[in-house]
Structure 1
Amino acid sequence: MLKRIKNLFGPAPVPQPPVAAPLPYRHVSLFHWRPANGSVNFGDHLSQVLVSRVLGLRGLTLEDQVEQSARLLAIGSILHFAAHDDVVWGSGVNGKVPESAFTAQRLDIRAVRGPLTEEFLRSRGHRVPAVYGDPALLVPHLFAGRFRPTGEKPHVIVPNLHDLRLVAGKPDVVSPLAGWNVVVAEILKARLVIASSLHGLVIAEAFGIPARYVRLSETEDLFKYRDYYYGTGRTDFEYASSIPQALEMGGMPAFAFDPRPLLDAFPWDLWR
């Protein structure tokens, strides 16, 4: 397994430095990736949306003063940004980043995206509970009744941010640069979702819409997609190389998702 993980790693992208916390008192800082040009990428921004929503279940916020400062990593392939003692809830490894970029020696891990991330972290001496799941799978549960599939379109295309230019001008493209709620609503109009955006796939499948990963470019490593699919119990990972092929293949097999283990793993104790 470890050898297979190593083979999935490729050249490193330019790293993004962590954003400094703006609050002057002890609090829990949520780290998530954001494009350098100041835009908001749908999948990464879901981290802010969902963590805030989970906290709201108990009347808490990311602005609360707490007994001890902490930093939380949730949605995204962002573990190479982790620092010592960071808390991890659903994050994953980025296959584009070399192993040398992972420098955190101590992590408080509550859940990870999938078993490939688990194996990578265990190989580096970290204790990892067998709790899998991208927190974006919780959207139907946390926003019950707000979003409903309509099936009014045969399909939509949700590109990864780096693939957006490759589908410019095509009909039924959902931009990952739109507001998170708009992206979710547009995805739910489709009877089939074709996506190179990981979270385009996750949102579609969370609402029971068939989805197929289409590899429009070599920009993104396969690691995060395999990690997600394996974490949902689907090891027979097949992807399309073009939009016509994705239409022909249709969606991946469905899976059952129980939100309780992931929600139970949320680090409520940080908000003492």
Structure 2
Amino acid sequence: MLYKIRNLLRRPPPRMPPAIMPHGLPYGHVSLFHWRPADGSVNFGDHLSRIVVARVLGTRGMTLDDEVGQAARLLAIGSILHFAGDGDIVWGSGINGKVPESSFTARRLDIRAVRGPLTEEFLRRRGHAVPMVFGDPALLVRHLFPERFRPTGERPYVFVPNLHDLKLVADSPHVVSPLAGWNTVIAEILKARLVLASSLHGLVIAESFGIPARYVRLSETENLFKYLDYYYGTGRSRFDYATSIPQALEMGGMPSFGFNPGPLLAAFPWDLWL
């Protein structure tokens, strides 16, 4: 691999706002953990966890509010494994490279899939059994909403910033804010013939719909770990990024890949709802 995990995790993290847990229910259910900004806003990529898991459940007439025999907690989309506790179930989550390794304390996880091989290696080194099922569940959006979203290609490009980069580009007419509703962000991404992003899920959604995309590193706020993890998890090995929007426009999209939703869907933890 091009990068060693220890090097990626070396840089100390910026101060992060706390996670917000969804309100619990007064009976046994599967609680889906996902991160939200402390101010109560909704970050597009993290919120896709609820959208995707709820949609998968809906294919069998189930919901996140169903009462189940054994309460559980599920972690799906997001670089959130440092929030995991013993007994949690993991379906597609990843390690956050800007969080110290010491923040990961779970000793017993039920892992069904992870975002990519860097997360897999991190977990295996700590004694966790990890199946070789890779993929960010946001890649399933196209499969789960086949009639709702369609690429139009009416704009030459858009830029989807990471939440922490938004202030750097907020005045640009090409910017799609990650604080908008999930459906609005996807619809705006699909208007573009090229998607530039420092938002990981801006890249994921664009590539899942076959739109060329390029990672643009506008700041050092985010560690490269999660981008590499996703990229390698799609079977690609060379990762080149731009450091400005003009450079990204010149470079064009990253190499494409073929995505088979079957293994990731087959790894979904249906047994939690039985």
Specify if TM > 0.5. yes
Q: 2:30 aligns with which of 28, 31, 36?
A: 28
* Equivalence for 1:59: 61
- 2:234 is the counterpart of 1:236: no
Distance 1:158 1:261, change over 3 A: same
Report how far residue 16 of structure 1 moved: 2.4
> Is the Cα contact below 8 Å between 1:21 and 1:29 reproduced in 2?
no
Written as runs of structure 1 = structure 2, the 5 A alignment for 1:215-234 is: 215-234=217-236
d(CA) in 1 for partners of 2:36, 2:22 = 13
- 2:12 is the counterpart of 1:11: yes
Distance 1:71 1:21, change over 3 A: farther
Distance 1:250 1:17, change over 3 A: closer
* Equivalence for 2:102: 100
> Is the Cα contact below 8 Å between 2:24 and 2:31 reproduced in 1?
no
- List alignment gaps of at least 5 residues for structure 2: none
d(CA) in 2 for partners of 1:150, 1:142 = 19
d(CA) in 1 for partners of 2:61, 2:105 = 35
Q: 1:191 aligns with which of 190, 193, 202?
A: 193
Q: 1:149 aligns with which of 143, 146, 151?
A: 151
Distance 1:215 1:17, change over 3 A: closer
Written as runs of structure 1 = structure 2, the 5 A alignment for 1:70-89 is: 70-89=72-91
When structure 1 is superposed on structure 2, of 229-238 and 11-20 the one drifting more is 11-20
Q: Which amino acid aligns with 2:96?
A: N
How many percent identity over aligned positions? 76
Q: 1:258 aligns with which of 248, 257, 260?
A: 260
Q: 1:213 aligns with which of 192, 211, 215?
A: 215
- 2:118 is the counterpart of 1:116: yes
Distance 1:20 1:253, change over 3 A: closer
Report how far residue 21 of structure 1 moved: 4.5
d(CA) in 1 for partners of 2:104, 2:122 = 10
How many aligned positions are there? 272
| TM-score where L is the length of structure 2 | 0.97
d(CA) in 1 for partners of 2:261, 2:18 = 31
- List alignment gaps of at least 5 residues for structure 1: none
* Equivalence for 1:68: 70
d(CA) in 2 for partners of 1:4, 1:193 = 28
Q: Which amino acid aligns with 1:120?
A: F
Report how far residue 14 of structure 1 moved: 3.3
- 2:125 is the counterpart of 1:128: no
d(CA) in 2 for partners of 1:159, 1:21 = 29
d(CA) in 2 for partners of 1:171, 1:66 = 47
Q: Which amino acid aligns with 2:227?
A: Y
Distance 1:164 1:87, change over 3 A: same
d(CA) in 1 for partners of 2:186, 2:195 = 11
| TM-score where L is the length of structure 1 | 0.98
Cα RMSD (Å) of the superposition?
Answer: 1.3
Distance 1:229 1:62, change over 3 A: same
Report how far residue 22 of structure 1 moved: 1.8
> Is the Cα contact below 8 Å between 2:87 and 2:109 reproduced in 1?
yes
d(CA) in 1 for partners of 2:87, 2:8 = 26
> Is the Cα contact below 8 Å between 2:90 and 2:109 reproduced in 1?
yes
* Equivalence for 1:164: 166
